[in-house]
Structure 1
Amino acid sequence: MGFHTYPVERAAELDDPSRYRYCSREELLGMLALSGAETVVDLGSGTGFYTDDVAPFAERVYAVDIQEEMHDLYREKGLPENVSLVTADVADLPFEDGECDAAVTTMTYHEFYSEAALAEVRRVLRSGGRFVVVDWSAAGTGEEGPSTEERYDLETAVSQLEESGFDVVFSNERPETFAIVASMR
Structure 2
Amino acid sequence: MGYHTFDVGRADALEDDDRFRFCSAEELRSALALTGTETVADLGSGTGFYTDTVADRVDHCYAVDVQSAMHDHYREKGLPETVEPVTAEVADLPFPDDTLDAAFSTMTFHEFASEAALAELARVVAPGGRVVTVDWSRHGAGEAGPPRDERFGAGEAATFQSDAGLRLRTATERDETFLTVADGGPA
- Shared fold (TM-score, shorter chain, > 0.5): yes
- Greater mean alpha carbon deviation, residues 140-149 or residues 9-18: 140-149
Is 1:101 aligned to 2:101, yes or no? yes
Residue aligning to 1:172:
172
CA distance in 1, matches of 2:160, 2:97: 21
Is 1:156 aligned to 2:156, yes or no? yes
Shift of 1:171: 1.6
Residue aligning to 1:137:
137
Report 1:1-185 matches (<5 A).
2-184=2-184, 185=186
C-alpha RMSD of the superposition: 1.1
Letter of the structure 2 residue corresponding to residue 60 of structure 1: H
Gaps of 5+ in 1: none
CA distance in 2, matches of 1:52, 1:146: 23
For the 8 Å contact 1:62–1:83, the answer to whether it is kept is: yes
Cα shift readout 1:21-42 (whole Å, capped 9, x = no counterpart): 0000000000000000000011
CA distance in 2, matches of 1:163, 1:153: 15
For the 8 Å contact 1:132–1:181, the answer to whether it is kept is: yes
TM-score normalized by the length of structure 1: 0.97
CA distance in 1, matches of 2:5, 2:142: 17
CA distance in 2, matches of 1:26, 1:57: 11
Shift of 1:2: 3.0
TM-score normalized by the length of structure 2: 0.96
CA distance in 1, matches of 2:84, 2:61: 6
CA distance in 2, matches of 1:169, 1:82: 28
CA distance in 1, matches of 2:2, 2:43: 16
CA distance in 2, matches of 1:148, 1:46: 21
Cα shift readout 1:29-62 (whole Å, capped 9, x = no counterpart): 0000000000001100000000000001100000
Cα shift readout 1:115-166 (whole Å, capped 9, x = no counterpart): 0001111111111111100000000135111111110011111111111111
For the 8 Å contact 1:141–1:148, the answer to whether it is kept is: no
Runs of 4+ in 1 over 2 A off after TM superposition: none
CA distance in 2, matches of 1:34, 1:18: 24
CA distance in 2, matches of 1:2, 1:84: 24
Question: Percent identity among equivalent residues?
Answer: 57
Gaps of 5+ in 2: none
CA distance in 2, matches of 1:100, 1:15: 26
For the 8 Å contact 2:137–2:178, the answer to whether it is kept is: yes
CA distance in 1, matches of 2:96, 2:3: 24
- Greater mean alpha carbon deviation, residues 15-24 or residues 138-147: 138-147
CA distance in 2, matches of 1:167, 1:85: 27
